[in-house]
Amino acid sequence: MTALYREHALGLTRLALVLVRDTQAAEDIVQDAFCGLHRRWDHVRDTDRALAYVRSAVVNGCRSEFRRRKSARGQLPDVPASSAESAALASEERRAVLRALAGLPARQREALVLRYYLELSEAETATAMGVSRGTAKSATARGIASLRRLLQEES
Amino acid sequence: MGKTEERLRDAAVALGSTLGPADIPPLRLPQTSARDSRWQGSLGRPLVIRRWLSPLAAAASVATVIGVLVLIGSLPGPAGHRIAPHRGEPAGAADLRTARQHGAAAPWAFWQISGAGSSDLQVTAITASSPTSAWAFASDDAGTNLRPVAWRLTGSAWTAISFPGRPGERIVAAQASSPANVWALTSDNRALRWNGSSWQVVSGFPARDVGAAAVISRSDVWVFGQLDQPAGTTPATWHYNGHDWTRVVSAAGLGEASALSPDDIWADGGSVVAHWNGARWTRYSVASLLPPRTQYCGPAVTGIDAVSAADAWAVGFQNCQDTGGLGVLLHYAGGSWHRVASLGDHDAAAVLPDGRGGLWIPADIVQGTDGTMFHFSDGRLTTARLPLRPDHLHLWIAAAAPHGAAVFAGGAAGHDATGVVLRHDT
């Protein structure tokens, strides 16, 4: 499992960061996901299956984090950008896209990030989200439609 | 990849790249036992479980999802149908008005979800017992914990029917053997049955992760799904005899099923197609007929239609990461499976009889922008002219009335991806 963590922790933390926009929360979510994998390790020996499990746990963790923030503050968070993030997102264009992404319903946001950031197949996206392939397709299509609309409204 | 997708990827990659290997802390595994640690995260955050909603909150939750399935357009067909009047102003109506100018070569009718909460609903299952008797189910698509909605088609109007769905529950498969024997299987591992007057939960349903069902009669129901076991998920099949559920020798697992009689059922899962002859399942690998498997492509059968024990159709898709891949049409004849047509860059959702010896194949284009409805007849593959603009049209599910008297397809259309149901009358 240490090897799996060494190989995939960075990618999974980046995935969580894109989903929750908070580096500390992203790191915690990935740690929690690997703790969950640790508890199931006897049942999940296959590396591909282990990666699919932990990726799904990360997506779930991000969903919980969003829910927690939303209930704590009554609205979705507007996480202040770190200095590193500010440098990387110098373009207002990118900021606008990430703002719009954060405004999407959770399922649509997850589908878009898994499909177009991680470049997973629809089947893998569905597995990571814990939904059927049809739902993953639907969430992707609706997410793109919503994102397009939000970006048009903003421009 | 479209412009919006490219912008999203660019922004996400830029944000992700703010983290480097040096930012990743070492793995911290819990010292507590597995039993103790089930109830909190590694950082000690307690998990909160909401046990139930107050009656008032539950009622409010239901009230927000009473969307309305509105007949938007019924294009002039041979019988001279008139375009029905609007009953509401659903999202995406502008696209539909434009679409009417396209005309159509066949009598397609379509309906669109409209009303409160409609933007969070997706059509997830359809079943039909005749062209004018059908059910459509819509479920929460946005993770907002809405309850599923059930509509019944009687004649040309859909009516919302009281359905004992739970918050966040999805209808994953629906099948009917008659208007008074309609089954719905849910994401909460429940089976519900419409007896002609109300929906009832079928007790003792043992399935997990249901993919498909085959309803022959009230006392002959097959359910295809998978079980999560210590060694991983395994395909599983259950049979209901009207009183008890029995787990039987597994067929193909998650996927589609098409049943003709108690001893003639076809089912698919992955690159396997299976036939039940009343005594045993015979499995056929169609891996060599599907588009190539590569490091990034996991081809699979995505739909099946049984004509007889010696005649069946299936559609498959290459299922590649990001780029999608190719679709194919397969035919079982002469005791083996053959590839009969390529569907190009399309992901076929189903294959259905047209009632005249041909087939309907609803499909998405793989880059996620345009969908289409193929028609296959006498060895020729053509594209149907639908009463909806093809851009931003997605068709994910479909059902045929017995004997191919009508075909229904469900998905989403328009810039807002509003849920739609299409019907073609033979």
pLDDT of residue A69: 73
What is the per-residue pLDDT for B40?
A: 30
Please say whether the beta carbons of B388 and B394 come within 8 A. Answer: no
Q: Pick the more confident residue, A153 or B89.
A: A153
Predicted confidence at residue A2, as pLDDT, reads: 83
- Tell me the residues of chain B between 368 and 397 that have a Cβ less than 8 Å away from chain A: 368, 392, 394, 396-397
Q: Any CB–CB contact under 8 A between B416 and chain A? A: yes
Q: Is B21 inside a domain boundary?
A: no
Per-residue confidence (pLDDT) for residue B69, from 0 to 100: 63
From CA B211, how far away is CA B255, in angstroms rounded? 5
Is 70 exceeded by the pLDDT of residue A75?
no
- pLDDT tens by residue, A95-144: 889 989 988 888 889 999 999 998 888 878 888 887 777 788 888 888 88
Q: Containing domain of residue B124, as a range?
A: 56-425
ipTM above 0.95, yes or no: no
Chain B: residue whose CA lies nearest to A32: B42
Q: What is the pLDDT of residue A114?
A: 93
Q: Which residue in chain A is spatially nearest to B188 when comparing CA positions?
A: A131
CATH number, domain of B139, equals: 2.130.10.10
> Which residue in B215, B211, A107, A121 sits closest to B202, CA to CA?
B215
From chain A, pick out residues whose CB is under 8 angstroms from the CB of B21: 10
Where in chain A are the domains? 1-80, 82-155
Check CB contact under 8 Å for A31 and B321: no
Pairing of β B336-344 and β B327-333: antiparallel
The answer to whether the CB atoms of B30 and A106 lie below 8 A apart is no
| Smallest Cα distance from A39 to chain B, Å | 6
Ramachandran quadrant class, B117 (left: phi over 0; alpha: psi -120 to 50; beta: rest): left
The answer to whether B148 and B165 are in contact (CB under 8 A) is yes
Using 70 as the pLDDT threshold, list the residues of chain B that sit under it.
1, 30-106, 116-119, 142-144, 228-233, 250-255, 321-323, 365-369, 390-391, 426
Chain A: closest CA distance from residue B19 (Å): 7
Integer Cα distance of B28 and A31 in angstroms = 7
Separation of alpha carbons B158 and B147, rounded Å = 18
Residue B51 lies in a domain: no
- Contact indicator for B3, A116 with CB cutoff of 8 Å: no
Q: What is the pLDDT of residues A9-66, one digit of tens each?
A: 999 999 999 998 888 899 999 999 998 888 877 666 666 678 888 898 999 888 888 7
For residue range B18-73, what is the model confidence (pLDDT) as tens digits? Answer: 888 888 888 887 654 433 333 233 332 322 222 222 333 333 333 334 456 665 54
> CA-to-CA distance for B281 and B400, rounded, in angstroms?
24
Residue among B133, B113, B210 at smallest CA distance from B169: B210
CB B15 to CB A17 under 8 A? yes
| B170, part of any domain | yes
Please tell me the total count of domains within chain B: 1
B414 located within any domain? yes
Tell me, yes or no, whether B328 lies in a domain.
Answer: yes
Rounded to the nearest 10°, the torsion over CA A43, A47, A50, A56 is -150
**Mutation choice for A interface testing from B1, B6, B24, B397 by most A CBs within 10 A:** B24
Whether the predicted model's global pTM rises above the 0.90 cut: no
Residues 236-295 on B with a CB inside 8 Å of A are none
Task: Give A10's contacts (C-beta < 8 A, 6+ positions apart).
Answer: B19, B20, B21, B23, B24
How many angstroms separate the CA atoms of B257 and B253, rounded? 10
Q: Which fold has domain A82-155?
A: Arc Repressor Mutant, subunit A (1.10.10)
Interface contact A139, partner B, CB < 8 A: yes
